[in-house]
Chain A
Amino acid sequence: MIGQAISGRSIGQAIKQATEQLRRHQAECQASLRKLDESSNDLVDRRGQTLLELAEHYLPEISRESVLVTFRGIRDELLDVLARKQRRERQLHEVVKQDETEAVRIQASLENVTDELNEKVAERQRLEAIVAERLTAHQPFQQLSQQALAAEQELQRNEERIAEIKQDASEKLPDYDNNRLFRYLYDCGYGTPEYQKKRMTRQLDRWVAKMVDYARSRRSYDFLRVTPELMAAEVVRRREQFNLLMEQIEAIEDGIADEVGLTEALRQGHRLGEQRDGLVADLTNLEQQFTNHHQELLALEGTQNDFYKQGVGQLKEFLAEMEHSWLEHQSRSTPERQDDELVAEIGWLNEQLDKARRESSKLTQEQRNWDERSEGLQDVMQRFRRADFDSRRSMFSGEFDVERQMGGYLRGELGREELWSALRRYQQFQQTRYQQRGWGGDDSWDGDSWDFDNMSGVLGRVLIEVAGEAMKHAVRRGMQRRGPIRNQSRRKSGRPGFGGGWFTQGRGF
């Protein structure tokens, strides 16, 4: 890392601030939309009133009473729709408020658990160092380690040899099986006590056997057929011997770990890790729920909801008979001035409404952009938490300009995937001495192809220290051989698993 490293927690704070900034933008946009909506409603009211006046003027077949009755009916229905809409809005506001309260509660719990986990990680590191120190000074442990690693190396060589001889056998055996003369003699048990042929046949069989050099061929055939299996059985026996040695080594480690309190610290750490993973999952679900409710609320305040569509439908039906163009035509055909003024007012109101509609669509688009960004940033934050980037061990390179990145995201110059990939690129967990990837002091191994979850980082590191760096591959192979068995035996004895040296799924603790 170059420059002053930035803690994961500060980056988390920066993301939270950016989220709040986005929320403010959303709220501003929402307020503008609401204001515009209100003024549009006034304009629509005025237009409705004017249209009604004009209708009374031109529609002699509709009496004033009948128009008023119809309009009142429509108005009542609209009021009913509005009341239902407001009721749903109130419900949603309450739910959103509850979501917010719950989110605050979970976040507070998460922060507490995270702090406790950070402490537990520090304790684990301290205790691991003590265990490692004691193991290194333990004489029987040293002797057993040397023996176990030598046995492992031998096992590795043996396994390679078995693979080689199996390959050899699979290439050579078909030639024997496909030869009719050899197969005939083999099937009738020639040269064995089972061979029962007499006189002439026996003589002729001897002649055939000479032709294929049966005695030698049979020996080779039996060798190719039987030897790999015998070797495999021998390797199984040697593996058991290796396991016995490793069991003794592991018992020493477990004993010391119990004594210094590492086992208990691991147990508590795993419990806290599970709690944190659970809280992160709960918070993710809650945020998703909050987003859904918020979106529904926004839809209710805008034009994309069932209540609006219902209201518009009813109004359209009512006004269908009072088309502006028809009324305008009627107005021009009459000499009175009053109707001309009314028509002019309707025209002006329509223009204002069109203008408001254009502005509303612009604001809606803006609102949608803010919503998308807010959702994206929320997603990034969820990934950030799941990956444990907010742990004390999580550090970001000094080269990472968080303000520029967040600014770019808020302005829409950066997508959520780009932001997340930048975060991942600049993030690193501080390696501890006893985490498996740090065993060799480098990351040069293809660590991902190894199953680290069942291995003890302390034992691995100490074995390398005892046996020397040259044996690190033997150590890793040995640990990998033992991994599942050891995990099982630890579970039986009530000890916590190693979990790859981490307490959480995100591997930051």
Chain B
Amino acid sequence: MAAVQVAQAPPPDESSRSASVEAGQTPTQQLTLEETLRIMDVATTLRKEQSVVEQQLNIEETKAMLRERLLAAAQVTGERLTEQQVDIAIEHYYDKLHVFEPPKWSLSLAMAHLYVMRGTIVKWVVTIGATAGLLSWLW
């Protein structure tokens, strides 16, 4: 509740901060809710990044775990899968992971392209129109 109260108050300026430090308050007590949340966000991002990094650096372990799970699942379902087949499937999965899949051709895709290029198209139309207008005026 104290943090909320601090958050409701206007952000303290440098002079008031130094005054509160002099009054014996620790820097943690001076943080606003916004600042605290921002620090928390940074910490969470760092943790997530670290987790991704760890996972990626230990990719072989992740693959081995996945392999065990798949083999166990295959045993339960009664599907006859060899270790080699599972390995190939895992490699294939990782190869395809993060691959960009472009949308299939359709009329709406063409429209979408025209939409995202609208700026360029307008520029061209204006340039051609202006040139044509200028030429007709000269004739």
Also in contact, A223 and B57, with CB within 8 A (given A180-B113, A207-B112): no
Of A158, A176, A204, A211, which is within 8 A of B57 by CB?
A158
* Segment of B21-29, B73-81, B93-101 in the binding face: B93-101
Of A172, A181, A184, A227, which is within 8 A of B53 by CB?
A227
Give the Cβ gap from A33 to chain B, nearest Cβ, in Å.
Answer: 80
Also in contact, A212 and B103, with CB within 8 A (given A220-B98, A227-B52, A230-B49): yes
Establish whether residues B116 and A223, one from each chain, have CB atoms under 8 Å apart when the complex forms.
no
Establish whether residues B98 and A211, one from each chain, have CB atoms under 8 Å apart when the complex forms.
no
* A112 vs B52: C-alpha distance when bound (angstroms): 65
* A176 vs B99: C-alpha distance when bound (angstroms): 9
Of A161, A179, A181, A207, which is within 8 A of B56 by CB?
A161
Contact with B along A180-217 (1 / 0, CB 8 A): 11101000000000000000000010011001110001
Instruction: Give the chain A neighbours of B53 by CB distance below 8 A.
Output: 227, 230-231, 234
Q: How many inter-chain contacts with C-beta < 8 Å in the A-B complex?
A: 62
Also in contact, A161 and B57, with CB within 8 A (given A211-B109, A211-B112, A227-B52): yes
Also in contact, A184 and B116, with CB within 8 A (given A165-B56, A227-B52): yes
Let me know if B108 is at the binding interface, CB within 8 A. Answer: yes
Closest to A204 in B: B115
Instruction: Give the chain A neighbours of B64 by CB distance below 8 A.
Output: none
Let me know if B59 is at the binding interface, CB within 8 A. Answer: yes
Establish whether residues A172 and B116, one from each chain, have CB atoms under 8 Å apart when the complex forms.
no
Also in contact, A227 and B56, with CB within 8 A (given A181-B103, A211-B108, A217-B100): yes
Instruction: Give the chain A neighbours of B98 by CB distance below 8 A.
Output: 168, 172, 220, 223-224
Residues of B contacting A: mostly: helix
Instruction: Give the chain B neighbours of A231 by CB distance below 8 A.
Output: 53, 56-57
Contact with A along B87-129 (1 / 0, CB 8 A): 0000000000111111100001100110111000000000000
* A419 vs B116: C-alpha distance when bound (angstroms): 78
Let me know if A175 is at the binding interface, CB within 8 A. Answer: yes
Instruction: Give the chain B neighbours of A179 by CB distance below 8 A.
Output: 100, 102
Instruction: Give the chain A neighbours of B102 by CB distance below 8 A.
Output: 175, 179, 212
Establish whether residues A208 and B116, one from each chain, have CB atoms under 8 Å apart when the complex forms.
yes
Establish whether residues B116 and A181, one from each chain, have CB atoms under 8 Å apart when the complex forms.
yes
Establish whether residues A180 and B117, one from each chain, have CB atoms under 8 Å apart when the complex forms.
yes
* A179 vs B101: C-alpha distance when bound (angstroms): 10
Instruction: Give the chain A neighbours of B56 by CB distance below 8 A.
Output: 161, 165, 227, 231
Of A213, A230, A235, which is within 8 A of B52 by CB?
A230
Contact with A along B31-59 (1 / 0, CB 8 A): 00000000000000000011011001101
Also in contact, A172 and B99, with CB within 8 A (given A161-B57, A230-B49): yes
Can you report 22 A-B residue pairs in the complex whose CB atoms are below 8 A from each other?
A157-B60, A161-B57, A172-B99, A175-B100, A179-B100, A180-B113, A181-B113, A207-B112, A211-B103, A211-B108, A217-B100, A217-B101, A220-B99, A223-B52, A227-B53, A227-B56, A230-B49, A230-B52, A230-B53, A234-B50, A234-B53, A234-B57
Not counting A208-B116, A212-B102, A220-B99, a sample of 17 additional A-B residue pairs whose C-beta atoms are within 8 angstroms of each other reads: A165-B56, A175-B99, A175-B102, A179-B102, A180-B116, A207-B112, A208-B112, A211-B112, A220-B98, A220-B100, A224-B98, A226-B49, A230-B52, A231-B53, A231-B56, A234-B53, A234-B57
Ranked nearest first, the 7 interchain pairs of A and B with the lowest CB-CB distance are A175-B100, A220-B98, A184-B116, A234-B53, A176-B100, A211-B103, A230-B53
